[in-house]
Chain A
Amino acid sequence: MNRKKQRTANLAVLPMYLFSLVFVAGPLVYMLVLSFMTRDGFGFQNAFTLENYAKIFDEVYFATFLESLKLAVISTAAVILLGYPFGLGAALLPTKYARFFRTAQMIPYFVNSLLRLCGWIIIFRANGLLDKVLMAAGITDEPLKLLYTYPAVVVGMIYVLLPFMFLSVYQVAEKLDLTLVEAARDLGAGKVRAFLSVTLPLTMPGLKTGIVLTFIPSMGLFFIASILGGNKVVLIGSLIEEQLMRAHNQPFAAALSVALMLLTGVVCGILMKKRRDV
């Protein structure tokens, strides 16, 4: 019976609904309410205020939003430029090699990204592995200052986010019907024209997914800026952590989190909307 099946299905998803309600919706509502409360010592009092939101527009704090947005855009752009051709190229290889590339992309991710970044520090720090090799070879005479710079942060972001783009593009490109590209070429399209009017639109869903999967985390990934940037690039995530753990201003931290979610939501909304249009 259809109705019976429906009931079984409802029962099957019930635990998941409850789980989401308690552990996803619950904290979000708590955070939203908290963001309108007034700070009091280490905690807060139940007095409604909009001050926490007003404070976000304070020049100092607003700058962290711009900084986060800037880093997210730069990282996402770099990941598109590197990840899209890589994902597309790998998918078009014979299956054996394609699988190899796909697996090779994922192996480093068996290890926690925090640990991998700490590994980078050992290699790139002053008088670290790289410096020692370069100085021994007589290529440089003093330690390079590679870490704790903006480029170091961007490279770290690319490193962590690249697989999201690679896998999204790879998955779609794998199913790409190459005869369509051939047809375009037969009908007189040049390489560039064929790519722009056939390959690109057909792989666009993968690219879009990749952008969303790259952009969202890059707005919140502040540990990379902390580790490789020496905390000098102040992102919204680090500001929230600081407000919560050091300044003990829970309501302001909540307001910042709500604002971050709104901002990310709006950007993703724009991307998703365009996706439907394609």
Chain B
Amino acid sequence: MKKLALILAALMAAGTLTSCGGGAGENGTLNLFTWEGMFPEEVLTEFEETTGIDINYVNFDYDETMLMKLQAANGGDYDLIIADDYIIETAIAEGLVQKLDKSKIPSIGNVNPLYQGQFYDPTDEYTVPYGAGVQTIVYNPANVGIDITGYADLWDASLADSVGIISNYRVINGMALKVLGKSYNTTETADIAAAGAKLNELAPNIRLIKDDYIQDDLVSGEINAAVMYTSQVTMAKLTDPSLEVVYPKEGIGFGIMAMFVPSKAPNADAAHKFIEFILDPERGAKCYEYLGYYCTATASEPYITEEYREFLTLPAEFSKDNMEMIENITPEADDAHIAAWSEFKGLCE
């Protein structure tokens, strides 16, 4: 869930930093800590103009880097952080996150309940979701002879040397687990090993494994089917609308990015104002289109334009019953995953 429109993002973040780096605004500063390119420039500018709060946009590349810096700052320095679900679970457990003051966020009801009450914050006391990654399969119907409806179809011999995948082993091993009818989060090492064996059979179909710009390979015809990050699916669809996006019939895995206020945030008030500002339905829609991840605010969905609706909002039939988050698992299970993944990659050559 880390890979976004990097070039644009870098330009934007650089612009933000130079424009509001210096001294505090009349109503203080909001130290916003997240990846590059999470918000359209105009939304950030609008916030600064309407509230008189300057935004100091600081970015990190990996969730892990964020956690290290937050630990070093002992929950201070930053006012608002946006990161992935699994790392937030750790941050909360370490006491680095403060409870939200819901009275300052009257629009909290705009959030889609599907993305609430999840493992990292079961009672929704600490976080507000901002964008979700939903695992889909994308393929080019012009070059693929079969109808892809689920993960199992990726094993089809007709796709030899033409499938691209991201290098997130929980997502990819998870596909094999799903084909075997298991949970993404199983801690049974025997199940994970079985999934690894199943995955090994996929090796002849794998043309490439990569995280950055994999959407370009699908658009160029280097690969014909892919499992990739949601923002990449969005970019691929915008470039080539003839691509098919499939919700795998074996089940949907997803992840959430969420906003939280660190325990010793210097300006928690500004953080709450920003959350409320982003929950505005129309403004939110603008943000999700820019971000390219699934819209996590029900109230914003009607404002998502037709062009984006198909891949930024979930069809009505999806609920918590048929979707599953990818959660932190035991070290033993994680070891089993990485062993299976390493073996699989070795076979792809």
Contact = CB atoms under 8 A, between A and B. Distances in A.
A234 B339 contact: no
A126 B140 CA distance: 14
A148 B339 contact: no
A41 B334 CA distance: 10
B342 A61 contact: yes
A246 B211 CA distance: 12
A35 to B, nearest CB: 17
A49 to B, nearest CB: 13
B217 interface: yes
Contacts of B18: none
B222 A246 contact: no
Nearest to A124: B222
Contacts, number: 78
Interface in B301-349: 331, 334-335, 338-339, 342-343, 345-346, 348-349
B67 A42 contact: yes
B220 A127 contact: yes
A147 B217 CA distance: 11
Interface stretch (A206-214, A225-233, A269-277): A225-233
B90 A42 contact: yes
B331 to A, nearest CB: 6
B168 interface: yes
A125 interface: yes
Interface in B194-252: 206-210, 216-217, 220-222
B161 interface: yes
Contacts of B169: 246
Contact of B210 (A63, A150, A231, A246): A231
Given A42-B90, A58-B339, A231-B345, A128 B220 contact: yes
A169 B210 CA distance: 37
Given A41-B90, A63-B346, A242 B208 contact: no
A42 B169 CA distance: 17
Contact of A231 (B90, B208, B338): B208
A134 to B, nearest CB: 14
Interface residues of B, number: 30
A102 interface: no
B167 interface: yes
Contacts of B119: none
A232 B64 contact: no
A125 B342 contact: no
Given A243-B338, A246-B169, A226 B222 contact: no
A247 B334 CA distance: 7
Interface string A231-269: 111100001001101111100000000000000000000
A67 B346 contact: yes
B166 to A, nearest CB: 10
Contacts of B339: 58, 60
B60 interface: no
Nearest to B347: A232
A152 to B, nearest CB: 11
B207 A148 contact: yes
Given A41-B90, A232-B349, A60 B343 contact: yes
Contacts of B217: 125-126
Contacts of A39: 331
Contact of A232 (B216, B220, B345): B345
Contacts of A58: 339
A150 B334 contact: no
Interface centre among B206, B220, B222, B346 (most CB of A within 10 A): B222
A247 B90 contact: no
Interface centre among A230, A242, A243 (most CB of B within 10 A): A230
A128 B67 CA distance: 40
Contacts of A148: 207-208, 222
A239 B346 CA distance: 11
Contacts of B221: 126-127, 143
A232 B331 contact: no
B210 A226 contact: yes
A60 B346 contact: yes
Contacts of A245: 62, 64
A59 to B, nearest CB: 8
A166 B220 CA distance: 36
Contacts of B64: 42, 245, 248
A262 B222 CA distance: 39
A175 interface: no
B122 to A, nearest CB: 19
Interface of B: 62, 64, 67, 90, 161, 164, 167-169, 206-210, 216-217, 220-222, 331, 334-335, 338-339, 342-343, 345-346, 348-349
5 contacts: A125-B222, A231-B167, A231-B209, A231-B345, A245-B64
Q: Which 7 A-B pairs have the closest CB atoms?
A: A230-B208, A231-B209, A126-B222, A232-B348, A126-B221, A148-B208, A60-B342
Given A67-B346, A242-B338, 14 more contacts: A42-B67, A60-B339, A60-B342, A126-B217, A126-B220, A126-B221, A148-B208, A230-B164, A231-B210, A232-B349, A234-B346, A239-B342, A242-B342, A246-B338
